Amino acid sequence: MKQRGFIEIVILIVILVAAAIGGAYYLGRTTSQPQPSPSPTAMQDESANWEMYTSTQLPNNLLKSYSIQYPTLWDLDVKRDDISDTLTLIKEGYMIKIYQSAYGGGGCIFEGEIPEGPVEDLRDKKYVQIESGVGTLRRFTMDPSRTSNPDTTTVFDFCGDIGNEFINPTLVGDINYTVPKDHNEAVLREMDNILETLKEAK
């Protein structure tokens, strides 16, 4: 009888060990395991189906001709004569303008000491930096006193880099946005995305 009891205990231990091993195996099978990351797929360029406008060089003007892409929901207006060229993109009260003409400009100072010469002191301005095909552009809010409708609109002006300094106008002219006072940040980002496509025309 004692031997039989011992055998039953051994059998019980074997069953318990087998159950534990089987449970661990099953748990290992059902627990989510780290999976290799899927290979990256080519993301569709959001500007692939956008419209494109290409300007032509103004006579006797150092400002560069340019191309720019924009979504089809934006309306394009171009006014041009022998001495000026104005591109305006408009959507529901939001406006991007690039103006070219024969006029002077100066430097834009965002930090450091004010140098001699015609410069605009922008050291107290917060800016958004945009990388475009015509270099780095810095967008900042224009002083309301310089705008025509400060109660209802906000105007953003731009300076563009020429290597080690920023200037206004940019290499392709004076760039600015006019937006509603209570503007939508998503639309403002879309406008910045449009400016990212800006590049010098070949």
* Burial of residue 147 (number of CB atoms within 10 Å: 0-12, 13-18, 19+): middle
Could you identify the residue written with the tokens 């010098």? 200
Cβ atoms of 154 and 183 within 8 Å: the answer is: yes
State both tokens at 15. 């069953």
In terms of pLDDT, which residue wins out, 150 or 97?
97
State both tokens at 38. 């899927």
Q: For the range 110-117, what are the long-range contacts, defined as Cβ-Cβ under 8 Å and sequence gap of 24 or more?
A: 110/138, 110/159, 110/166
Question: What DSSP state is assigned to residue 170?
Answer: B
Distance between CA atoms of 64 and 124, rounded to whole angstroms? 30
Distance of alpha carbon 71 from the chain centroid: 15
Asked if residue 169 has a cis previous peptide bond (ω within 30° of 0), the answer is yes
Considering only 35-44, 80-89, 133-142, 172-181, which range has the smallest mean pLDDT? 35-44
Q: Work out the mean pLDDT of the chain and round it to a whole number.
A: 83
Cβ atoms of 134 and 198 within 8 Å: the answer is: yes
Q: Is the pLDDT of residue 88 over 70?
A: yes
Residue 72: pLDDT band with limits 50, 70, 90: very high
* Burial of residue 133 (number of CB atoms within 10 Å: 0-12, 13-18, 19+): middle
Query: 115 CB contacts (<8 Å, ≥6 apart)?
Result: 107, 109
Residue spans of alpha helices (H) in the chain: 2-30, 185-196
How high is the pLDDT of residue 168? 95
How high is the pLDDT of residue 173? 96
State both tokens at 46. 């959001």
**3-state secondary structure at position 148:** coil
Average pLDDT over residues 82-88: 95
Q: Is the pLDDT of residue 39 over 70?
A: no
State pTM to two decimals: 0.75
**Which sign, positive or negative, has the C-alpha torsion 10, 16, 19, 25?**
negative
**3-state secondary structure at position 103:** coil
Average pLDDT over residues 136-156: 94
